[in-house]
């Protein structure tokens, strides 16, 4: 059985209409990373940070999964239907829900999810599609201690134990639409290579870690990912 691990980043959602972080007109060109993506920023000005995530959350229903998300979901479906003998895990750094809406199920959101809140009072994780403010009460305990369930800089990404063991035992690791500058995800290629995996990058431009990959294909995700899935289904990769 071929074990496939796929890492996705903001580039996979770009053609759906969502901004990446580090491209010329990306999110970090418009907002301060320290203000909206650190625990210190939240302590200093929680309202500003809630407004930032409220806006991102409100933008989500206006965008749809693109051909790259759909091709990855189709690959998972083909595996479920035993059309190929493989196992697939998708790890995404993205906080949008486009992989789920395309139909992907085996998915780790290592940087959290826009549609979840985390109560720092009772520790509940809450599915949430509305605006959140500093005085929004937790639906479980009533305390006004909700924060977006997003992993900020300096915090530990989710599911790292499961991700690490998947990377060490996979046969094929594919990185899609990520600049490869944010750790730990930027180090996944080395982790996969330290096992026996073939490593492939699909990106618009070479990522920071491009030389670590066995193969690098450059172009838009909506073209490269469906082609890659075709190859996997034909056992050509």
Catalytic residues: 111
Instruction: Name residue, tokens 């229903």.
Output: 61
Which tokens go with 1? 């059985």
- Among 4, 5, 7, 11, the residue binding ligand APR under the rule CB under 6 A is 11
The number of angstroms, rounded, from the C-alpha of 12 to the middle of its chain's C-alpha atoms is: 9
Instruction: Name residue, tokens 């200093």.
Output: 44
Residue nearest to ligand APR (CB): 11
Query: Whole-number minimum distance, CB 199 to ligand APR, in Å?
Result: 16
Residues 16-45 that bind ligand APR (CB under 6 A): 20-23, 26
Residues 182-221 that bind ligand APR (CB under 6 A): 182, 203-205, 207, 220-221
The number of angstroms, rounded, from the C-alpha of 107 to the middle of its chain's C-alpha atoms is: 9
**Residue 28 annotated as part of some ligand binding site:** yes
The number of angstroms, rounded, from the C-alpha of 30 to the middle of its chain's C-alpha atoms is: 21
Contact between 72 and 98 under an 8 Å Cβ cutoff? The reply is no
Query: Whole-number minimum distance, CB 172 to ligand APR, in Å?
Result: 18
**Residue 177 annotated as part of some ligand binding site:** yes
Burial (CB < 10 A; 0-12, 13-18, 19+), residue 99, is buried
Residues 156-185 that bind ligand APR (CB under 6 A): 177-179, 182
Query: Whole-number minimum distance, CB 126 to ligand APR, in Å?
Result: 21
Q: Which is nearer to ligand APR, 11 or 166 (CB)?
A: 11
Q: Quick one: which H or E segment has residue 113?
A: strand 112-119
Q: Does 14 engage in binding with ligand APR (CB under 6 A)?
A: yes
Q: Which is nearer to ligand APR, 4 or 185 (CB)?
A: 185
Which tokens go with 106? 């085996």
Q: Does 13 engage in binding with ligand APR (CB under 6 A)?
A: no
Burial (CB < 10 A; 0-12, 13-18, 19+), residue 176, is buried
Chain residues that interact with ligand APR, rule: CB under 6 A: 9-11, 14-15, 20-23, 26, 93, 111, 177-179, 182, 203-205, 207, 220-221
């Amino acid at each position: 059985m071929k074990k496939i691990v796929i890492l996705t980043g903001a580039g996979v959602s770009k053609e759906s209409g969502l901004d990446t972080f580090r491209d010329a007109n990306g999110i970090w060109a418009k907002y301060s990373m320290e203000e909206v993506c650190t625990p210190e920023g939240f302590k200093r000005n929680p309202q500003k940070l809630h407004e930032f995530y409220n806006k991102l959350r409100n933008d989500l229903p206006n965008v749809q999964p693109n051909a790259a998300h759909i091709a990855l979901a189709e690959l998972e479906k083909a595996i479920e239907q035993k059309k190929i003998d493989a196992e697939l895990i998708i790890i995404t750094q993205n906080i949008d829900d486009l992989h789920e809406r395309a139909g992907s199920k085996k998915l780790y959101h290592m940087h959290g999810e826009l549609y979840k809140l985390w109560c720092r009072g009772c520790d509940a994780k809450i599915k949430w599609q509305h605006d959140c403010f500093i005085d929004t009460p937790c639906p479980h305990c009533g305390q006004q201690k909700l924060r977006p369930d997003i992993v900020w800089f300096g915090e530990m990404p989710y599911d790292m134990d499961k991700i690490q063991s998947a990377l060490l035992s996979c046969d094929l690791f594919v990185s899609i639409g990520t600049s490869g500058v944010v750790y730990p995800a930027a180090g996944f290629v080395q982790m996969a290579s330290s096992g026996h995996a073939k490593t492939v990058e699909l990106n618009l431009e070479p990522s920071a870690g491009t030389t670590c990959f066995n193969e690098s294909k450059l172009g838009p995700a909506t073209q490269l990912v469906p082609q890659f899935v075709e190859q996997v289904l034909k056992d050509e990769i």
